[in-house]
């Protein structure tokens, strides 16, 4: 059968459509794309792929579906997405708020390396921030494949726009949160600012056509503009995430609680404009993260679950106690029912814009 090339307007996947077809369903994200009449040459134009991208999806470890600890309360919402040919900029909420957050969860539906629980991780985090920590619901931006608003579909452009919104107009006393659950990769560092020679990266839903978002860009967007008196917490549930925000100092802590800070400032400034930034990530830069059934009997992200549970259950926490408690929970999962997708020990990491005594404080989120 004769066909012409077109592109899913939601996730960017290239699709072969039969000549004369008016619509086509994307095999990856299951969205319906309205087709324009065929051009004379019978082919649609596609964006040029990022030259730094290798063909196809990177070799991620298998991470079976995650479930929220409040899964019964957070069923992904099904809908028919409104048809819109452009998804370029996020629509900021009417309430900006002194507390605000960007939560991004991507399942990569229909892809051979799809995930099943990243969206549920994000919904659990939204519930925790709003119901437990007092974040205004209108000041929490959620980007997932289940959002009705096409501007909140987790494309590269929309994620970039959401990160810019997060720090826009930031003032002393503001508390910001960026939570990401999805695939992460490592790429070769080309500007010489990484100790291990690799940049870490976030994979938007359209990364195969639009490219990844490198840690250099994430740092430039939400870390560097942070003003004095403002605080940013990154909670990063993905593989290779130890220095995901590219913060200048990485904490090494052992099981006994002894710690030291590694200075990752090779060249260039990776700090803030006076504010304080922290990143709590799923594992070291060379490690993979995983899902486990050990906590609740259903698969879920080890980092997201252990982070929320530790903050809910323990009092008088410090960053040292938080990291050690999360490490213990994940270690128990590895020894017990098993941690799927992690080929070695998964150790949550703490990095910061400045070194401090990790056993003396925990800045309120």
Q: Which two tokens stand for residue 69?
A: 């600890």
Cβ atoms within 10 A of the Cβ of 223, count?
25
Determine the Cα–Cα distance for residues 297 and 274; give it in Å rounded to an integer. Answer: 44
Size (the chain), residues: 365
Determine the Cα–Cα distance for residues 252 and 49; give it in Å rounded to an integer. Answer: 38
149 CA to centre of own chain: 19
Determine the Cα–Cα distance for residues 347 and 337; give it in Å rounded to an integer. Answer: 17
Q: Which two tokens stand for residue 85?
A: 């040919």
Q: Give the closest residue to 265 by CA, choosing from 355, 135, 329.
A: 355
Determine the Cα–Cα distance for residues 34 and 81; give it in Å rounded to an integer. Answer: 12
- Pairing assessment for the beta strands 259-263 and 249-253 based on DSSP bridges: antiparallel
Radius of gyration, CA atoms only, the chain = 20
Q: Give the closest residue to 118 by CA, choosing from 39, 192, 60.
A: 60
Exposed / middle / buried, residue 169 (Cβ in 10 Å: 0-12, 13-18, 19+): exposed
Largest CA distance in the chain: 70
Q: How far apart are the first and last CA of the chain?
A: 57
For 143, phi then psi, to 5°, come to -115, 110
Q: Which two tokens stand for residue 178?
A: 């960026």
Indicate which residues carry an active-site annotation. Answer: 183, 239
Q: Could you tell me the CA-to-CA distances from 2 to 20, 252, 324 in Å, in that order?
A: 9, 59, 60
Determine the Cα–Cα distance for residues 199 and 38; give it in Å rounded to an integer. Answer: 41
């Amino acid at each position: 059968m004769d066909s012409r090339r077109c592109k899913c307007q939601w996730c960017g996947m290239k699709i072969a459509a039969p000549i004369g077809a008016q619509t086509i369903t994307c095999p990856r994200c299951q969205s319906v794309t309205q087709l324009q009449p065929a051009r004379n040459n019978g082919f649609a134009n596609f964006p040029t792929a990022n030259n730094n991208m290798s063909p196809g999806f990177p070799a991620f470890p298998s991470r079976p579906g995650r479930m929220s600890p409040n899964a019964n309360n957070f069923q992904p919402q099904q809908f028919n997405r409104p048809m819109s040919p452009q998804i370029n900029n996020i629509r900021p909420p009417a309430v900006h708020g002194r507390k605000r957050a960007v939560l991004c969860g991507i399942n990569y539906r229909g892809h051979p390396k799809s995930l099943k629980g990243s969206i549920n991780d994000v919904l659990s985090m939204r519930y925790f921030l709003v119901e437990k920590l007092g974040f205004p619901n209108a000041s929490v931006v959620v980007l997932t494949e289940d959002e009705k608003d096409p501007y909140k579909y987790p494309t590269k452009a929309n994620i970039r726009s959401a990160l810019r919104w997060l720090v826009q107009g930031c003032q002393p006393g503001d508390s910001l949160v960026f939570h990401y659950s999805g695939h992460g990769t490592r790429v070769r560092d080309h500007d010489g600012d990484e100790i291990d020679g690799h940049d870490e990266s976030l994979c938007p839903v359209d990364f195969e056509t639009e490219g990844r978002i490198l840690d250099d860009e994430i740092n430039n967007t939400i870390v560097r503009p942070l003003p004095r008196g403002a605080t940013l917490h990154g909670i990063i549930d993905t593989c290779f995430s130890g220095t995901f925000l590219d913060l200048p100092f990485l904490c090494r802590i052992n099981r006994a609680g002894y710690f030291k800070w590694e200075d990752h400032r090779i060249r260039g400034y990776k700090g803030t404009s006076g504010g304080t930034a922290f990143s709590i990530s799923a594992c070291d830069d060379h490690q993979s993260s995983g899902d486990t059934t050990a906590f609740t009997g259903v698969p879920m992200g080890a980092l997201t679950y252990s982070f929320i549970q530790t903050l809910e259950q323990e009092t008088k926490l410090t960053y040292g106690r938080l990291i050690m408690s999360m490490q213990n929970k994940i270690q128990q999962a590895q020894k017990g029912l098993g941690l799927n997708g992690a080929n070695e020990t998964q150790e949550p990491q703490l990095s910061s814009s400045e070194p401090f005594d990790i056993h003396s404080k925990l800045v309120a989120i």
